[in-house]
Amino acid sequence: MKAKIFASIAVAITGAVLLYAVTDFPRFGDPRSPANAGIGGGSPSASLYYIENTYRDTKVPNLVTAILADYRGYDTMFETVVILTAGMSIFAILRVLRRDDASGAPDPAPASSDPSIDGDHHRIIVGTTCRIAAPLIQIFALYVVAHGHHSPGGGFQGGVMLGASFILIALSGSLRDTLVRFGEQQYLRLAFIGILIYAGFGFLPLWVGRNFLDYGALSGLLMTSGEEMARSHSMLGVEIGVAMTVMSIMFAIFANLSTRGRLRGGL
């Protein structure tokens, strides 16, 4: 009871501080706000710089992707880390490990499984339709990831679509069938690899004396014609890493929540 009282007090104080801070925000759409007019009128605004110079700096026509993956690369990298942390927190709280879980293999099929196709007993229509749709969803998701720096899309969007395709397979058939294709060890491994890919594009410029996530320093390694194209290609690599983490964590959260951490049965 005392813990609930202290938690309520902490929430109330935090909420009051946040509401008080809102009073200092500029009005929505205010042309004189620092984001639109700069600070003190002497420096150019960030939004105006992005609009006028993004393509010159990065050769990327998608303004949003350039801001997220390049100009604001630190923030996006740690947003991806937050997603990984959320997934690992759910895993740590819910996952029930048993001796026969050590291999990460899904549970065997029930011995009493009825192989008949009386009516739609095994979801023949739904299952077949989803198995046909899932590869198409995944192909389009890969397009969204690969083309996200040139058209609407990116790693977060493509990763969500990839994760949703595996969830669709689990919902239309069984979680066991999905884990055969995308097991626990695989999605946990890919989640961390995605973060390492993103961080790798940040650490590589440090080796040549440049700043963290300064993609332009990779022009020699990526064999591009200039630093601008190196930034463009690096953004693609970063988006791939983001997509891997988002896809893996999204499915990991579903698998653990739907089975209460046992990875057996499910919805």
Q: Which of 20-29, 33-42, 77-86, 218-227 has the lowest mean pLDDT?
A: 33-42
Q: Has residue 74 got a pLDDT over 50?
A: yes
Q: Tell me the CA end-to-end span of the chain in Å, nearest whole number.
A: 34
What six digits make up the tokens of 261? Answer: 């951490």
In the chain, the largest separation of any two C-alpha atoms, in whole Å, equals 76
**pLDDT score at 21:** 92
Out of 15-19, 116-120, 127-131, 262-266, give the one with best mean pLDDT. 15-19
Average pLDDT over residues 51-67: 91
Q: Has residue 9 got a pLDDT over 70?
A: yes
**pLDDT score at 31:** 75
Q: Rounded to the nearest 10 degrees, how much is the dihedral formed by the CA atoms of 207, 211, 216, 219?
A: 0
pLDDT digit string (tens) for 120-141? 555 678 888 888 999 999 999 9
Q: Which of 103-112, 166-175, 215-224 has the lowest mean pLDDT?
A: 103-112
Q: Has residue 267 got a pLDDT over 70?
A: no
pLDDT digit string (tens) for 143-162? 999 998 888 889 999 999 99
CB 162 within 8 A of CB 138: yes
Encoded amino acid at 3, one letter: A
Q: Which of 203, 222, 232 is nearest to 65 (CA)?
A: 232
Question: What's the whole-number average pLDDT of the chain?
Answer: 86
Residue 38: pLDDT band (50, 70, 90) is low
Distance CA 215, CA 209 (A): 12
Percent of the chain with pLDDT over 90: 58
**pLDDT score at 112:** 41
pLDDT digit string (tens) for 194-246? 999 999 999 999 998 899 999 999 998 898 889 999 999 999 999 999 999 99
**pLDDT score at 117:** 47
Q: Has residue 190 got a pLDDT over 50?
A: yes
Distance CA 79, CA 171 (A): 28
**pLDDT score at 97:** 78
Query: Any alpha helices (H) in 32-113, and if so which ranges?
Result: 34-37, 46-58, 63-66, 73-94
CB 69 within 8 A of CB 159: no
Q: Which of 213, 210, 194 is nearest to 87 (CA)?
A: 194
Q: Has residue 37 got a pLDDT over 50?
A: yes
